[in-house]
Amino acid sequence: MTMLSSLPFLLQLAQDDPVGRKSLFEHIASGGPIGFVIILLSFAAMALVVIQLIQLRLDRLAPDEHVQRLGEMLLNRQIDQARAYCLEHDQPSFLTHVVGSALSRCARSPFGLLEFRSALEESGQTEVGRLMRSTEGLALIASVSPMLGLLGTVVGMVGAFDRLGSSAGGFARPDELAGSISIALITTVLGLVVAIPVTAAVSLFRNRIESLAASVAERTEELLGYVESHQAAADRGRV
């Protein structure tokens, strides 16, 4: 995604080459080692984006099977079985983590299931925080890429001035400066080309996490209703 978005600009750069001898890949290669590192970061960013697209789906965070099984257990007052189902399930989900953590807290608490609502809220916030932290890899790439581009710019300009200083009379031919200036320009372009779409992706994924968390909360509200109804019936029985 990130490298594809750079193609129009780089193609135009190749077309504007007054000599017309550099290809697109030669322009990219002229970024040197720093440009190569930025390109590697772009591939890492694409991999992380694919992972997030696969994971951040409602059918993975709260599968219908998990909702149905937990609903049946809680409706039939099988609290221990529901907790074991959440903690020992082979394919855990956001929902099972939240409900399992809440039931475990209630089992340890002297107030029992009276704490179920607050336990659900706290465990839900913990799981949302975990999902948010899963986007930190993309956020790091978005921050590092332009800094690497700036580093390439500084390195390229240092090289250009070094050539000027070592040339006779303080003058250098354009072809002697081309390599250093190319590094300075291309690395800046590559760094921004990677950082801009990755920054947008981080924002979109974090908004999606909040939206999915709200959808999962609606499903847990139904499970909470089963538990509270049983608790209310038990309270009436004691009276």
| pLDDT single digits (tens) 96-125 | 999 999 888 888 878 777 888 888 889 999
Crossing angle, helix 94-108 and helix 79-88, to 10 degrees? 130
Spell out the per-residue pLDDT of the chain, length 239, in tens: 444 444 444 445 444 444 445 566 776 776 778 888 999 999 999 999 999 999 999 999 999 999 999 988 888 888 889 889 988 877 889 999 999 998 888 888 787 778 888 888 899 999 999 999 999 999 999 999 999 999 988 887 777 666 666 655 555 566 666 666 766 788 888 999 999 999 999 999 999 999 999 999 888 888 887 777 755 555 555 54
Those residues with Cβ within 8 angstroms of residue 39's Cβ, 6 or more apart along the chain or in another chain: 3, 28, 31, 190
Looking at residue 174, what is its pLDDT? 63
Looking at residue 23, what is its pLDDT? 65
Q: H/E element holding 141? A: helix 136-166
Q: How far apart (Å, rounded) are the C-alpha atoms in residues 134 and 126?
A: 13
Q: How far apart (Å, rounded) are the C-alpha atoms in residues 191 and 145?
A: 5
Is 3 in contact with 42 (CB distance < 8 Å)? Answer: yes
The string of pLDDT tens digits covering residues 179-212 is 667 667 888 889 999 999 999 999 999 999 999 9
Looking at residue 18, what is its pLDDT? 45
Looking at residue 135, what is its pLDDT? 95
Q: How far apart (Å, rounded) are the C-alpha atoms in residues 34 and 189?
A: 12
